[in-house]
A and B are shown apart, each in its own frame.
Chain A
């Protein structure tokens, strides 16, 4: 099957649509016959990253690449950046707004969850923006 390559915009504070990219990615993985555990790992990672862009950034986009034996997803936003990545990777550390917390987000589990479910994760951040890449291999 040919590779699936899609790019989706993500709007700041668009909580009503948060999870849409995770849902579309999950649907595509199911269609391609990936096993349920693989699909669950990818769905969790995409959902958490998508929420992070919605609640923490000025907006951005996602690129989803699904191949026969791996899935790679990149999230790019327009800032304001993560001041301290080490802090942000700690379970329970959160800088979420009251708005995000009221909506059930901001547990401080987003990045640790992504790290736990993905096979590779890279995170780069400046005030101009943050890029998060995650990769999942079918056989791991």
Chain B
């Protein structure tokens, strides 16, 4: 699965202006605690979170994550979108809960 596959999935919307969506996704990782994300993600992982905070983008950049998905339909703050554009990190939103998003993407990946 790549970030382009997520962009093509109707329940997920790309919300920033990153044009390169060729990043391969290593694994899905869900957490709203940044220490947990920092210590347990690896390069090319996809983070699913409800944490609407600029440090999410910082951690995504530090750990070279492929993208971030904000669950439960939250309206992502502009400062996160601007920072993610600067760092070339695709951001998505979905109305799915975090668990629903994991299930949906796992099924999609097995197609």
Name A's B-contacting residues (CB within 8 A): 15-16, 18-19, 22-23, 26, 36, 40, 43-44, 47-48, 51, 103-105, 107, 109-110, 113, 116-117
Interface footprint category on B:
10 to 19
Further contacts, 20 of them, CB under 8 A, given A105-B34, A109-B33, A113-B39: A18-B58, A22-B62, A23-B58, A26-B62, A40-B42, A44-B39, A48-B35, A51-B34, A51-B35, A103-B53, A104-B32, A104-B51, A105-B35, A107-B33, A107-B36, A109-B36, A109-B39, A113-B35, A113-B38, A116-B39
Q: Contacting A104 at CB < 8 Å: which of B39, B43, B56, B62?
A: B56
Name B's A-contacting residues (CB within 8 A): 32-36, 38-39, 42-43, 51, 53-56, 58-59, 61-63
Chain A residue contacts of B51, Cβ below 8 A: 104
